[in-house]
Amino acid sequence: MTIEEFYKDHFKIVYGYLLSLCGKTTMAEDLTSETFLRAIQKIDCFDGTCKMSTWLCTIARNLFLNEMKRQKRTIHIDDVEERGIDSFEEEFVIKEQARNVLKAAGTLKPVYRQVFHMRIHGLSFREIGNAMGKNENWARVTFYRAKTTLLNRLEESNGSM
């Protein structure tokens, strides 16, 4: 398999996963490139105990977490003044809810988490099944179970506040 084939076979999954983590296309693109660079450099570390896509998503997740550590979250006063306090508060609440969902998704079993991230990025159940070496029905059932588990955890965390 050539590097181009390797990239084409796994790009959509890695990019989709990263986009679902960060929500920014440019950041997802940069981290996707970095993921494939690292994978090519460390291909001898791949032992075959998991799928290549799982290994790549692990690299991608680690790169994303490292990037988050490097970035400092700041709110600029100009942004608040330009958009107005109400719209800023609404946006903050929406982003906070999204962060809570993604944080809760991080506690799911790895297979549920992976299917959930692929689905919210827009991959079809057929694509998810193919990427995971399973069928479309398996992807549907696994996503449903992941979603149900996630909703239960979110309800529990909201009830305990």
Task: Specify the CATH number for the domain of residue 40.
Answer: 1.10.1740.10
DSSP 110-122: HHHHHHHHHHHTT
b/e map 34-51, b = 16+ CB within 10 Å: bbbebbeeeeeeeeeeee
- The pTM for the full model equals 0.48
- Domain assignment present for 80: no
Q: What is the pLDDT of residues 12-58, one digit of tens each?
A: 999 988 888 777 888 899 999 999 999 989 888 888 888 888 889 88
Pick the closest to residue 106 from 141, 136, 64, 43 (CA basis).
Answer: 64
Q: What is the pLDDT of residues 61-81, one digit of tens each?
A: 889 888 877 775 544 444 444
Instruction: Provide the domain limits for residue 126.
Output: 102-161
Query: Cβ neighbours of residue 85 under 8 Å, at least 6 residues apart?
Result: none
* Domains: count for the chain: 2
